[in-house]
């Protein structure tokens, strides 16, 4: 397993802490790297994630939390991954944690800076895009999408929405469990057993998605929105049309894009137009008003880019969102 690494750090002043020299690259960590509690009680394993899916995977793997893990999610106020800017407190939490899990990619420059200046010499990092390796997809400019303003001919960036594949989720869960087992070997069996049971449920749900797609004659769906679901659609064998690429900052579609999408709805006889969480549906309504029948349902698939900790406390989980998405997908495939 590659990508779970200890960082080599430079000595400098950072958030009033002395930055220490650390070790070089390693694979998923081994040994016990635990923070001593101030009162001499049970150690606390400090884990920081950027996005909700990784936060939830850690919660599942820890289960009843025999290792006394303290888990922090940085994107906790509905802030999109692509526009997130960390606070000083966020940077401090990364600097002093034991394990930092983040997506990586173009949007993660802030994370790379925080890692490079971390105070904990034993910091272990999991970069999801990095450990995915060759399975990571490039950001795609599909037919009908307008090239973003200022976009040149640079080499395509990686599609960062890696968590929206159930296969990827199982792989990431496995790596996180292995890493936690190294950080807290006393509870390794708990982490491994919890991860195994969870990966089985992920595999079952993945098969449900595949069966839903195979049972439908519809194999192409249309998003009047950004399209962050490429990993999921690739897994299921679905094609798509969309207004914008998954990482695009564009919100205003051109007249040509609207006409193109409306024509595709007519051509494919689609009964629904999809949007993602946080979208007001105005663009979808405009596309619908330019179709022949003007009666398509507007359905929402949740990309989990705006789930907050309070939602998790209320029962929202990675699995519950993906189960809800399956029901939306079944409706869209009719």
> Domain residues of the chain, as ranges?
4-145+157-203, 217-332
Q: How many CB atoms lie within 10 A of CB 109?
A: 9
Architecture of domain 217-332: 3-Layer(aba) Sandwich (3.40)
| CATH class label, 4-145+157-203 | alpha beta
- This prediction has a pTM of 0.86
* CA pair distance 28, 15, nearest whole angstrom: 28
Task: Give, for all 334 residues of the chain, the pLDDT tens digit.
Answer: 334 443 333 333 333 232 332 333 333 333 454 444 444 445 789 999 999 999 999 999 999 999 999 999 998 876 777 778 899 999 999 999 999 999 999 888 899 999 999 999 999 999 999 999 999 999 888 888 866 544 444 667 899 999 999 999 999 999 999 999 999 999 999 999 999 999 999 999 999 999 999 999 999 999 999 999 999 999 999 999 999 987 666 668 999 999 999 999 999 999 999 999 989 999 999 999 999 999 999 999 999 988 988 898 999 999 999 999 999 999 999 9
Which burial class, exposed, middle or buried, applies to 188 when counting CB atoms under 10 A from its CB (0-12, 13-18, 19+)? Answer: middle
Same fold, 4-145+157-203 and 217-332: yes
* CA pair distance 321, 306, nearest whole angstrom: 12
């Amino acid at each position: 397993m590659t990508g779970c690494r200890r960082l080599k750090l430079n000595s400098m002043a950072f958030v009033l802490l002395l930055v220490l020299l650390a070790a070089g690259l390693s694979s998923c960590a081994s040994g016990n790297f635990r923070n001593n509690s101030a009162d001499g009680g049970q150690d606390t394993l400090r884990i920081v994630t950027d996005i909700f899916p990784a936060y939830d995977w850690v919660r599942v793997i820890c289960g009843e939390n025999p290792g006394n893990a303290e888990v922090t999610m940085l994107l906790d106020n509905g802030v999109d991954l692509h526009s997130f800017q960390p606070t000083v407190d966020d940077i401090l939490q990364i600097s002093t944690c034991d394990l930092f899990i983040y997506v990586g990619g173009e949007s993660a420059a802030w994370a790379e800076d925080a890692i490079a200046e971390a105070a904990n010499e034993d910091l272990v990092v999991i970069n999801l895009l990095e450990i995915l390796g060759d399975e990571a997809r490039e950001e795609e400019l599909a037919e009908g999408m307008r090239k973003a303003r200022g976009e040149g001919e640079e080499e395509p960036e990686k599609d960062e929405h890696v968590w929206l594949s159930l296969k990827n989720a199982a792989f990431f869960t496995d790596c996180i469990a292995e890493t936690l087992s190294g950080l807290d070997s006393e509870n390794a069996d708990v982490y491994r057993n919890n991860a195994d049971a969870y990966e089985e449920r992920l595999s079952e749900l993945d098969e449900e998605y595949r069966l839903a797609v195979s049972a439908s004659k519809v194999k192409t769906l249309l998003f009047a929105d950004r399209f962050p679901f490429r990993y999921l659609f690739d897994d299921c064998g679905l094609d798509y049309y969309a207004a914008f690429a998954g990482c695009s900052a564009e919100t205003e579609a051109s007249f040509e894009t609207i006409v193109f999408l409306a024509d595709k709805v007519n051509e494919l006889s689609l009964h629904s137009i999809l949007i993602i969480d946080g979208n007001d549906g105005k663009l979808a309504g405009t596309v619908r008003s330019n179709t022949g029948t003007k009666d398509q349902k507007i359905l929402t698939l949740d990309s989990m880019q705006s789930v907050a900790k309070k939602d998790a406390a209320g029962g929202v989980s990675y699995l519950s969102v993906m189960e809800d998405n399956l029901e939306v997908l079944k409706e869209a495939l009719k």
